[in-house]
Amino acid sequence: MKARFLGIAELTDVPDVAVVVDVMRACTVAAWAFARGAERIVLAESLKDALDLKARHPAWAALKDGPPAPGFDLVNSPALLRTADLGGRTVVQKTTAGTVGALAVKDASLVLCAGFVVAEATARVLRERAPRSVTFVVTGEDGRAEEDLACAEYIAARAGGAGTDAAEFLRRAGASRAAVELTQGVRRGSSPEDVPLCLEVDRFPFAMAATVEDSLMVLRRYPVPGHPA
């Protein structure tokens, strides 16, 4: 399996298989939303689209990054989400990087969304599918976000079958600009517990895949052989 690591702006073709990585925090938040019972996550193109969807579907939960805002029910924080009851609900998510990265590869035949919390499940899907090449979308900081690159490289190594120690990858992610800013409370709508939650390797047994459904990009749990979805 050949792996390439690209920022969103570097995507010039439609990949066959794409893994969209946003450790801090969109993909970690998405995984927690599923763990808290969400049925699906609609990835919105814009804040306006998110609010329009919420207005048309009042039972849905709208989520954005940054500070809490009128019309939105949730912020992009795993720590603040982990006590939410989202049983059976649809979440609409709009963030600066993660949701944008997923939408940028919506025409790929397989779009997985990942962070450390679903690393092995994601790698396992790749091992099973065994594509000739995988495009890792490093969503943060124009493809240079160290937490996303480290996680992408870790998943690629695991997908290659190597027995890979997570420690050095986690050290890089923990020293990233995003981790520092989240720890210092520079980023709004956050908790001091967000960084450790984003660095929990294999916290969840499921992978996450996004597909276009009725013109919306919808993220769902993706069954992993040998694990409950």
Ligand X SMILES: O=C(O)[C@H](CS(=O)(=O)O)OP(=O)(O)O
Smallest distance from the beta carbon of 160 to ligand X, in angstroms?
Answer: 26
CB 28 within 8 A of CB 146: no
Partner touching 96 among Mg ion, ligand X, none, CB below 5 to 8 Å by kind = ligand X
Task: Rule CB under 6 A: say whether 22 interacts with ligand X.
Answer: yes
Smallest distance from the beta carbon of 165 to Mg ion, in angstroms?
Answer: 24
Task: Rule CB under 5 A: say whether 24 interacts with Mg ion.
Answer: yes
The residue within the footprint of ligand X, chosen from 43, 97, 118, 170 (CB under 6 A), is 97
Applying the rule CB under 6 A, the residues between 26 and 45 that interact with ligand X are 26
Q: Which contacts of 125-129 are long-range, i.e. CB under 8 A and separated by 24 or more positions?
A: 125/207, 125/209, 125/222, 125/224, 126/1, 126/17, 126/19, 126/155, 126/159, 127/159, 127/161, 128/225, 129/17
Helix (H) / strand (E) containing 30: helix 26-35
Smallest distance from the beta carbon of 105 to ligand X, in angstroms?
Answer: 15
CA distance 11 to 14: 8
Task: Rule CB under 6 A: say whether 95 interacts with ligand X.
Answer: yes
Question: Which residues of the shown chain bind Mg ion in the complex (CB under 5 A)?
Answer: 22, 24, 97, 140
